[in-house]
């Protein structure tokens, strides 16, 4: 089944998150797996308001240790206690702004998996890397740190298409997804300026198993439209 995950980034405190989740509950989203990924402060309210639905809640990051002297970090076991189902690791913004390396991302992923969370592990090349024809080299390096796991999902997010309004063509996305699947047996989501008007064409590609949606997941109507596009593809 197609997986649609909404990454809210550093938007929607508890009040806005509550309003969004209450609205989301009112819609029939059968035929697609749906995940919302609020900031840490809004996880509890999202878990509470989406309880009893099929919509999962995931965090945007997690430390690899269950506890310890790591000021400012949140552990996978804490997330599990809260009722959180999964976590994103290695988002390009974590790599770009916070210096996260492939090895650090791998530690976060393995810690989360060991705690029983599902993991969306992000990989993707920058515009400069693509222009230098290094896409496959970069993806091969980034994906090499992960081991196959039933709870591991990969998200291909070309960095040049995140928050820029640029989107990989369905053909480019398919090519990258097929390459990633040749290296690791895992579902692969597409992330990079997914919107209601391009979602169906992207999700129709044979190796695109869903979407990691950024900006368009902040608006309830557009997020629902993307979810319904995913449901139509596999109906």
Q: What share of the chain is helix, strand, coil (3-state, %, to 5)?
A: 45, 15, 40
125, 157, 174, 177: which is the annotated catalytic residue?
A: 157
Cα–Cα nearest to 40, from 73, 70, 67, 4: 73
Output the DSSP codes for 168-195.
--HHHHHHHHHHHHHHS-S-EEE-SS--
What's the rounded Cα separation, in Å, for the pair 57 and 161? 25
177 contacts: CB under 8 Å, gap ≥ 6: 156, 188, 190, 205, 207, 208, 209
Q: Does residue 234 have an active-site annotation?
A: no
What's the rounded Cα separation, in Å, for the pair 21 and 11? 14
Residue 146: is it exposed, middle or buried by C-beta count within 10 angstroms (0-12/13-18/19+)?
buried
- List the beta bridge partners of residue 58: 86
Per the CB < 8 A criterion, the answer to whether 199 and 5 are in contact is no
Q: Does residue 174 have an active-site annotation?
A: no
91, 93, 125, 174: which is the annotated catalytic residue?
A: 91
Query: Length of the chain in residues, anyone?
Result: 235
> Active-site positions?
91, 157
């Amino acid at each position: 089944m197609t997986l649609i995950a909404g990454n809210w980034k550093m938007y929607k405190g508890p009040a806005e998150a509550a309003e969004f989740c209450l609205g989301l509950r009112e819609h029939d989203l059968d035929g697609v797996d749906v995940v919302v990924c609020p900031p840490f402060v809004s996880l509890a309210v999202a878990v509470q308001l989406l309880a009893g639905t099929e919509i999962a809640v995931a965090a945007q990051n997690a430390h690899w240790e269950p506890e310890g002297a790591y000021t400012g970090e949140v552990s996978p076991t804490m997330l599990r206690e809260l009722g959180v189902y999964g976590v994103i690791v290695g988002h390009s913004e974590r790599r770009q702004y916070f210096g996260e390396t492939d090895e650090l991302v791998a530690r976060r992923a393995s810690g989360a998996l060991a705690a029983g969370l599902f993991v969306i592990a992000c990989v993707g090349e920058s515009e400069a890397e693509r222009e230098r024809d290094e896409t496959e080299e970069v993806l091969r390096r980034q994906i090499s740190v992960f081991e196959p796991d039933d709870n591991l999902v990969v998200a291909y997010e070309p960095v040049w298409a995140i928050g820029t309004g640029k989107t990989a063509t369905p053909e480019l996305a398919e090519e990258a997804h097929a390459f990633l699947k040749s290296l690791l047996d895992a579902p692969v989501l597409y992330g990079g300026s997914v919107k209601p008007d391009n979602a169906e064409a992207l999700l129709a590609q044979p190796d695109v198993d869903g979407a990691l949606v950024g900006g368009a997941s902040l608006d309830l109507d557009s997020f629902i439209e993307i979810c319904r596009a995913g449901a139509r593809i596999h109906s």
